[in-house]
Amino acid sequence: MRNMTLNLLLPLALFAFVSSITPGPNNVMLTASGATFGYRRTLPHMLGISAGVAVMLLMVGAGLGTVFETVPMLYTMLKYAGAAYLLYLAWRIASASGMDGDTSRSRPFTFFEAVAFQWVNPKAWIMAVGIVATYTPRDGFFQNLIVATLVLSMINFPSISVWTLFGSALRRLLRKPRAIRWFNVGMALLLVASLYPIVLEHFAT
């Protein structure tokens, strides 16, 4: 049985860090949530992201990727459903009232909403498939998969926290409801822009 060696752990940790801390749907949403609701109220959202990505990695490693190879249409349907949901989330972010506005109609993501969102998040799929395909040795696969999941979980949460803290810091500057509304509109546009890989793939086929 081949255990994951240090030579493989370091590249895995680097991949997990780069994938977690670079801009993407999760981090854009966390920045907006941090600015609108603060770090503490966004904490369930962050925990849900880390848990959701970990569960996805385990399930992809357990064979879900094979299902998509057998039924490609299922993956295509999931991809476009995810794009539609991201557009809905962009609207939700853009219409968030902010800390000085009427917050009865807006709230941060719950833990389970964040877990569920990973299944329609293209970047989360790239992370999970990339780790399983590239950084998880075939010998002793399931043991190595658990190690990879632990590494990802330990790195992901601190990385995404940076974006929430950034949003929370901006919160002090965005005192006026109009200022935070425009900030949220900007975050919503960035979220829409994160769909460009799907658009390019659509026109390339």
1 is a domain residue: no
Q: What is the pTM for the complete model shown?
A: 0.75
Which residue, among 70, 82, 166, 180, has the nearest Cα to 126 in the 3D structure?
A: 82
Range of the domain at 177: 7-16+24-204
- Residue with the bigger pLDDT between 172 and 59: it is 59
Residue 94 domain-assigned (yes or no): yes
- Classify residue 38: in a domain, yes or no: yes
Determine, yes or no, domain membership for 56.
Answer: yes
pLDDT digits (tens, 9 = 90+) for 27-84: 989 998 998 889 999 999 999 999 999 999 998 888 865 666 677 776 677 667 766 7
The domain tally of the chain equals 1
Q: What is the DSSP letter of 175?
A: -
77 occurs within a structural domain:
yes
Does residue 67 lie within any of the structural domains? yes
* Residue 2 within a domain: no
Alpha helical stretches, state H, the chain: 6-21, 25-37, 39-59, 65-70, 72-94, 111-117, 122-134, 141-173, 177-193, 196-204
**CB 124, CB 82: distance < 8 Å:** no
- Binned at pLDDT 50, 70 and 90, residue 100 comes out as very low
- Retrieve residue 111's tokens: 């833990």
Count of beta carbons in the 10 Å neighbourhood of residue 142 = 11
